[in-house]
Amino acid sequence: MINDSTLSAAFANANLPGVVGMIVDRDGVRFSQTLGVTDVDSKAPLAEDTRFQIASMTKALATLAAMQQVEAGRLSLDAPIGEVLPELADAKVLTGFDAAGQPQTRPAARPITLRHLLTHTAGFGYFFIHPQLLQYFAAVGMPVPGSIAGIRTPLLYDPGDRWEYSTSIDWAGLAVEAVTGSKLGDYMAEHVFAPLGMTRTGFDDTLPAGAAQVHVRDEAGALKVQPMFLGGGEYHNAGGGLIGTAPDYARFIRMVLNGGELDGQRLIGPALLAEMSRNQVGSLRAGYMGSAMPALAQPYDTFPDQHTGWTLGFLTNPETGPNGRSPGSLAWAGIFNSYYWIDPAAGVGGVMMSQLSPFGDPGALACFGALERMAYA
């Protein structure tokens, strides 16, 4: 029996607007708890199926869509992705800025591949993490939010040389569109969400009525609504554009725990799921993110004492985590302080949804840690 007071106690100390926490195993939901409100203005209570901007938790789902194309033979993990996305055929690496502040580049040493994109080793970055990209956009002009111009940046390093959290999954989503002839959201609705029974997940153009609102804290620590929306725009953002629910994401977690299928629906073959689940970056350390905009995302490292790696879609830990997570587990998060983990060795996983900025909030992390400890207690 899971002690349902553990998450409640952590939430009481966290100063969050609301949390939905779920623990699952291969057979179903072991624990679910909903605490708090959708927003502090309306004070509407959260429901288990309240919709949240899941932000970068989109990445694992989009990676699954890309791996379905690998399984179908439409994409290759190691062929130059420029064959599918001509924009990436002759990538340039940013080397610095001239005296007038204009960016200087050189040709990349090798082609970008889908494997590079899915492992964040292609060379791309994020302007809120990497200050040189802020400087780049200051020189060439800030892109319109939601535009493809926002991901048309030079590389920060040669493909395969480093791990840096990035917009590369956005490009992987565009590769899925290129080989399927469908908008990413339409493809995923038919081939990912419907088979998984994820009935309340999708790319919305506006924040739906009743969805949880993003909050910030004022100087006194009081919560207030801060309108922020990552969706919409000219393309379906595979790196962070989905809106979904905790029960929907829990079904994705259970699919991974069950080797690529759920309730008789197979999403990916066992061999490719195994490929998705193993460390792909060798001796490179993955998972640490700096910050160029701490008001949006603080520096973050899930396991600062471990040499964490990256699979095709997930952070993976080589040692047992402090809350009980097995070596070889899979995890990541969304920028509004939503988090999940998948532990195939123990057959358990969990998801916690919240909507607070900036990312890496200590109170939210304490709640997620409590949820994880509950799963292994």
Please state the length of the chain.
Answer: 377
Q: Is the pLDDT of residue 68 over 80?
A: yes
Helix (H, G, I), strand (E, B) or coil at 369: helix
Q: Which domain holds residue 117?
A: 5-376
pTM above 0.85, yes or no: yes
168, 120 Cβ separation under 8 angstroms? yes
Q: How many CB atoms lie within 10 A of CB 17?
A: 24
Q: What is the mean pLDDT of residues 269-285?
A: 97
Q: Which two tokens stand for residue 374?
A: 């509950």
C-alpha span between 296 and 222 (Å, rounded): 17
- Can you give the pLDDT at residue 1? 60
Predicted confidence (pLDDT) per residue in 105-144, tens digit: 999 999 999 999 999 999 999 999 999 999 999 999 999 9
Q: What is the mean pLDDT of residues 204-215?
A: 97
Active site residues: 56, 59, 165
Helix (H, G, I), strand (E, B) or coil at 167: coil
Predicted confidence (pLDDT) per residue in 143-201, tens digit: 998 999 999 999 999 999 999 999 999 999 999 999 999 999 999 999 999 999 999 99
Residue 263 CB burial class (10 angstroms; 0-12, 13-18, ≥19): exposed
Q: What CATH number corresponds to the domain at position 40?
A: 3.40.710.10
How many folded domains does the chain comprise? Answer: 1
User: DSSP letter at 346?
Assistant: T
